[in-house]
Amino acid sequence: MDIKYLKILILTFLVLCLAGISGAEAGNEFSENEEFSNWAEGGHYDTDYGANFMSEWWYQNGDMRLVSEDGEKRNLAFFIVVTHQESPTIFYDSELEMQFSNMATFYGLYPYGEPVAHNFTQTFFPRSDIENYIGFHLPYLDYTFPEGSRKIYGSSSEGYCLEYLYDNLQLDLVFKPRVEDTMDSAIEPVNFTTYERAYGKLEGTVVLDDKEYTVTQADGYFDHMIPYTTTLPVWEMEMHGWSWSELTTDNYQAILYTVRGLEDGYDNCTYRHLTLIDKNTGKVIAEYSGEELDIVETEWVDLDVKNVSVRRPGALNVMASGLQINVEAQSVVQFDAASYPEDHVGFIDFMAFQPCTASIEYEGDIEHGSAFYEYMITDWGAFVSSQ
């Protein structure tokens, strides 16, 4: 390992660990009488969890068939993420005596047969202004990114509206879930909960390169994930990383979450859970967790990201009783804007898409479809693995 890189990491770690918590501004405490839907839809404060550092993000993806007014047809897959982060320690400016909030947004585009595209944007502003952009403790989502025209709002019962304008991309879409809500949640190796609206349909329009297309057919997925830590400076320091995959075929929807602790490295995972949904009925037909799942990631690719040696898998195979899933990381976008040495401890994220040829075999029935496949490695996890 590069000694300069190691010194930067150690210094960053020490600064974060020794930082004071004075001057933190208290958010509104969450009432125990509030309905469950408030946790699933609207925004949250770090004080809701007694957290040193809290993140939350809302994620929407879609696999769309598009047609323009002149009859041109295109296939486009995408994902959009909007985020909110709070830390009474790291985001406090002692010179200004002011608490700050962080918001970020990023996307990936996968035009069939064309190069992928992506963007990452973030901003900081006074904590006192956060409620101008996010609705907190509400039974619906109301999120507006402070810069540009990017917003998402709605609920699982009424549908989520996505208005997203950036560069040559404009999305005006509505996602309507068609299955029952599901959830992933764990305490170790990281505190997190994910509220999932795992399958639904997208409607609306897309503008690409100044040309407008109407969505004629589109499968979509939506979730709201909240990781946090009560003991460490940032939640990324509690884990090596995670894998997530969402696979849609004609009749099935499969959602896989695995989380790797620091001791797991690239080879094992502490948390594993798979949900299989019948798209026709909207019901969960099978769930697997822990040792019920045999998860094998293969075709590893070795990479150097900002002088850090990391690995990512090129294929995912999942086996359980009566079930086998195969996914490949065919088109990949890479996000490392949160990674040091420029910033505090963050992560490197690889988000892949596979059109048409991913497979689910359930009780002897084999179907093919499209899959999103994420592999995330924390900076701290990469450092630990290199020792």
Q: Report strand pairing: 98-111 vs 92-93.
A: antiparallel
Distance (Å, whole) CA 329 – CA 352: 5
Amino acid (1-letter code) at residue 153: Y
> Which pLDDT score, from 0 to 100, does residue 315 have?
98
pLDDT in tens, the chain (387 residues): 333 333 333 334 433 333 332 333 333 333 333 444 468 999 999 999 999 999 999 999 999 999 999 999 999 999 999 999 999 999 999 999 999 999 999 999 999 999 999 999 999 999 999 999 999 999 999 999 998 899 999 999 999 999 999 888 999 999 999 999 999 999 888 899 999 999 999 999 999 989 999 999 999 999 999 999 999 999 999 999 999 999 999 999 999 999 999 999 999 999 999 999 999 999 999 999 999 999 999 999 999 887 788 999 999 999 999 999 999 999 999 998 665 445 555 899 999 999 999 999 999 999 999 999 999 999 889 888 887
Distance (Å, whole) CA 342 – CA 218: 38
Distance (Å, whole) CA 244 – CA 263: 19
Strand ranges (E), 249-364: 252-261, 271-278, 283-289, 294-298, 301-305, 308-312, 315-320, 323-328, 331-335, 347-362
Q: With contact defined as beta carbons under 8 Å apart, do 178 and 282 qualify?
A: yes
Closest to 64 (Cα-Cα) out of 48, 82, 80, 52: 80
What is the pTM for the complete model shown? 0.89
